[in-house]
Amino acid sequence: MSLELFDAIERHDLAAIAALLAAGADPNADHPDQPSWVPLKAAAEDGLSGAIVLLLRYGAIADSGRQPGGATPLIVAALNRQGEAARLLLAVGADPAARDNEGDTPLDLRERNGDHDTASLLRACEAVATPGAAPEPAVSRDFRSWPERSQAREGDRSAAEDGPMTALATPGSLIRVTPWDELQYWAQPESTCEIIDDRRPFVFRVEGWLEDGHICYGLHGPVVDGPERYRGLLCSIITRVDGSDWRVEFSSQAAFRVGPSTVGRDQRYDFRHPDGTTLEGYPRMSRFGMVEVIAGC
* Domain assignment of residue 65, given as a range: 2-124
Does a structural domain hold residue 144?
Answer: no
75, part of any domain: yes
Number of domains in the chain: 2
The answer to whether the beta carbons of residues 257 and 279 sit under 8 Å apart is yes
Do 116 and 219 reside in the same domain of the chain? Answer: no
190 and 86 in a single domain? The answer is no
Whether residue 150 is contained in a domain is answered as no
Residue 141 lies in a domain: no
User: pLDDT 10s digit of each residue in the chain, 297 long?
Assistant: 678 999 999 999 988 998 898 888 888 888 888 878 889 999 999 999 889 988 888 888 888 766 655 688 888 888 888 888 888 888 777 888 778 777 778 777 777 767 667 777 777 775 443 334 334 433 333 444 334 444 443 443 343 344 445 788 899 999 999 998 889 999 988 778 899 989 899 999 999 999 888 788 899 999 999 999 999 999 999 987 655 688 888 888 889 999 999 999 988 887 877 788 999 999 999 998 889 998 765
Rounded Cα–Cα distance for residues 221 and 77 (Å): 36
Name which of 266, 278, 271, 232 is nearest 254 in CA terms.
271
In a shared domain, residues 105 and 182: no
Residue that terminates a domain, selected from 104, 124, 144: 124
